Amino acid sequence: MTQQHMSVVILAAGQGTRMKSKQPKVLHAIGGKSLLGHVIHTARQLNPQQTVVVYGHGGEQVKTALANEKVLWVEQLQQLGTGHAVDQATPLLSDDHIILVLYGDVPLINAVTLADLVKQASSGCLAILTVHLQDPHGYGRIVRDPQGHIQRIVEQKDASREELAISEINTGILAVSAKRLKAWLKQLDNANAQGEYYLTDIIAMAVKDGVAVKAAHPASEDEVLGVNSRSQLAHLERAYQRQQAESLMAKGVTVIDPNRLDVRGSLEIGQDVTLDVNVVLEGHVVIESDVYIGPNCVIRDSFIGQGVHMQAMCVVDQAKVGANSLIGPYSRLRPGAELKGDNHIGNFVEVKNSVIGQGSKVNHLTYIGDTDMGSGVNIGAGTITANYDGANKHRTVIGDDASTGSNSVLVAPVTIGNGATIGAGSVIAKDAPDGKLTVARARQVTLEHWQRPKKKK
């Protein structure tokens, strides 16, 4: 987004004790991605020369979870404040770069906001991101002179009564030249209520050195809110999901209730799609145009073709659903399920690692696993492919236009021929020939003199 030579420093060393968790705070997720993952993703959009992550508590967990990210890792062995944390990264920072300081627990910061901040800093000033809050409790306050120029930042615990009344707060996010930053960091002391080296103290140093301090502001307060508790995590989750819903609606998607949609990954979606309430989309999901997804459906790492109608309570996991198929209600498509199109997969049907040919129907109370099914097949209610012998999986092949009666069991490996019909209640352990009726069931017997037992008095 910007051609300015710059580096990003992300502070992610905090313990997050209020999270009450064994997991490092920055690994808690919003929208299916870790807090730190969101910040790294946003930083990447600015095309920095390098991104440095300063880690501390749970460092190995953090590095392992984000091992695929192209970042430099620096450990802060002792948590002595934000100024100390940034100083750990300075040996890796080029003097001629603008340094953008971000926080691993502030996940919704927007790249456009940051690009504006970096642009201001490139003019030679110290650029800081501030926001006005109705309740500024806990945040450092922006102290300005009578002319409105920023003079310094005072932390909550060090502020006077008059300073506590200030509503403009410091987000901690700033951009400045590396050369100046390094010089100011060397002058920091910890003579404050927390006994820490505050990064915010460099604002007063900049004023003393005659460097202009300018403020930029985010479009939304949610951009700069951090996560220190489960409650704050939940608040930003809903804020993030609202953003996703607004973006989808702007693309021509109908979201029945924007407060009851969860997107936990990446989504490619066409026009005139309707997402009913409590739909959850995880991983990478592709949904083509004119699709209806009913209430309480979960779709994970899957492709949904054009014109699909998915009724309530379906789970689709690593599967492909061809165009104009009718799914559900209460259907489950497991990994490897591939529907070629115009299919009906009905209530309480499970399909796993199987190809379902064009126009084939599996409507009721059925399990289809490890199966290659042709086109135009009709599977009767209660049909089971017995694909597991206790040690190995075997495949079932069902030819075009075949039909199974209710309560049939197909014992793999087995082939049902083209146009074959399986009689209801059959257990088929041998191949059934093309175009024939195959029945495998015990002869029906009625015992004339049998009497039902009676309960003893």
What pLDDT is attached to residue 4? 58
pLDDT of residue 395: 98
Separation of alpha carbons 448 and 250, rounded Å: 72
What integer best gives the mean pLDDT of the chain?
95
Work out the end-to-end distance of the chain between its first and last CA atoms, rounded to an integer number of angstroms: 88
Task: Give yes or no for residue 2 having a pLDDT over 70.
Answer: no
d(C-alpha 450, C-alpha 212), whole Å: 102
Which residues make Cβ contacts (< 8 Å) with residue 84, sequence separation at least 6? 76, 78, 188, 196, 197
Q: What is the set of active-site residues? A: 364
pLDDT at 1: 41
Q: What pLDDT, in 10s, does the model give residues 432-455?
A: 999 999 999 989 999 999 999 999
The pLDDT value recorded for residue 348 is 98
pLDDT at 230 over 90: yes
**Partners of 351 in the beta sheet?**
333, 368
- pLDDT, average across residues 1-25: 85
Q: Where are the domains of the chain?
A: 6-224, 230-438
**CB-CB contact of 49 with 7 (8 Å):** yes
Confidence at residue 32, expressed as pLDDT on a 0 to 100 scale: 96
pLDDT in tens, 375-419: 999 999 999 999 999 999 999 999 999 999 999 999 999 999 999
Kindly write down the DSSP assignment for every residue of 285-328, as one continuous string.
Answer: EEE-SS-EE-TT-EEES-EE-TT-EE-SS-EEES-EE-TT-EE-
Lowest mean pLDDT among 32-36, 56-60, 150-154, 433-437: 56-60
Cα 120 to chain center, whole Å? 32
Least confident of 28-37, 193-202, 234-243, 358-367: 193-202
CATH, range 6-224: 3.90.550.10
Banded pLDDT at 300 (limits 50, 70, 90): very high
Q: What is the pLDDT of residue 83?
A: 96
SS3 state of residue 331: strand
Q: Show the tokens assigned to 158.
A: 């060090």
Query: Which tokens sit at 290?
Result: 């004119």
* pLDDT tens digits along 114-159: 999 999 999 999 999 999 999 999 889 999 999 999 999 998 999 9
Give the position of tokens 């299919």. Answer: 343
* Mean pLDDT, residues 303-319: 98
Is residue 129 a contact partner of residue 38, using CB atoms and an 8 Å limit? no
Domain covering 230-438 in this structure, CATH number = 2.160.10.10
Q: Which residue, 391, 311, 307, 386, is CA-closest to 352?
A: 386
How far apart CA 285 and CA 274 sit, in angstroms, is 15
Is residue 5 predicted with pLDDT exceeding 80?
yes
pLDDT score of 360: 98
Report the pLDDT averaged over residues 44-66.
94
Kind plus residue range of the DSSP H or E element containing 352: strand 344-352
